[in-house]
């Protein structure tokens, strides 16, 4: 029937289909940046997509959808001077153009915005400095020694971490509860500095 408005269910389905068809949907993995956010997350950097091709294509889709919606509105505006039947037909045709066009523009525009943001995040992540795996291994070993009660050895490894990467020591190693306890123990400090058998 001319002039009948689209049903809400049809609108929801159209939005879902348009969103799934967007190029950026599913093209970028979730971000898994370490809490300190200083060094590169190698896992994320290897999986992320720095390309802007998908969101650029989505932008073109949004422009096409917007143009279709605008054409529908213009068609309605230009055909309002006739009789009731003509006006009803104009409204129906205009809605057939404007509603799908608007939904497509919204879905592709949203996808493009997210795609550009994630592509930028990937480029920023890959630009972060790499962390030497040795530093992580030393911290892990220090943590295990500290949990076993060997604070002297744990402190020595922790200080090795500080020598290799002072920032990681400050942000990660020294904040580990077990290692921090050993670093704060006076006995561990005395034994690690004076050595066994020394006064």
- pLDDT at residue 37, rounded to an integer: 64
Mean pLDDT lowest among 56-70, 75-89, 118-132: 75-89
Q: What is the 3-state secondary structure (H, E, C) of 115-154?
A: HHHHHHHHHHHHHCCCCCHHHHHHHHHHHHHHHCCCHHHH
Mean pLDDT lowest among 11-15, 34-38, 63-67, 115-119: 11-15
Q: How far is residue 81 from each of residues 84, 85, 90, 92, 96, measured CA to CA in Å?
A: 9, 11, 10, 15, 20
- pLDDT at residue 77, rounded to an integer: 81
Q: Is the dihedral of CA 103, 106, 110, 116 positive or negative?
A: positive
The residue whose two tokens read 């295990």 is 144
Where are the chain's structural domains?
8-127, 133-194
Helices 8-21 and 84-127 pack at an angle, to 10 degrees, of: 40
Mean pLDDT of 169-192: 79
Q: How confident is residue 41, by pLDDT bands cut at 50, 70 and 90? A: confident
């Amino acid at each position: 029937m001319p002039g009948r408005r689209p049903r809400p269910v049809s609108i929801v389905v159209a939005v879902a289909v348009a969103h799934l068809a967007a190029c950026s949907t599913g093209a970028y993995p979730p971000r898994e940046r370490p809490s300190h956010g200083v060094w590169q997350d190698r896992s994320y950097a290897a999986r992320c997509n720095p390309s802007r091709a998908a969101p650029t294509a989505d932008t073109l889709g949004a422009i096409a959808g917007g143009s279709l919606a605008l054409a529908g509105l213009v068609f309605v505006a230009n055909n309002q001077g006739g009789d009731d039947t003509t006006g009803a037909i104009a409204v129906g045709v205009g809605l057939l153009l404007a509603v799908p066009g608007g939904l497509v523009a919204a879905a592709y525009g949203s996808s493009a915005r997210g795609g550009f943001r994630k592509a930028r995040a990937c480029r920023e992540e890959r630009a972060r400095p790499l962390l030497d795996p040795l530093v992580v291994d030393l911290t892990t070993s220090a943590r295990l020694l500290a949990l076993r009660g060997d604070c002297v050895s744990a402190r020595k490894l922790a200080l090795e971490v500080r020598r290799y990467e002072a920032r990681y020591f400050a942000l990660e190693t020294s904040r580990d509860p077990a290692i921090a306890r050993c670093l704060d123990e006076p006995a561990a400090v005395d034994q690690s500095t004076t050595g066994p058998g020394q006064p």
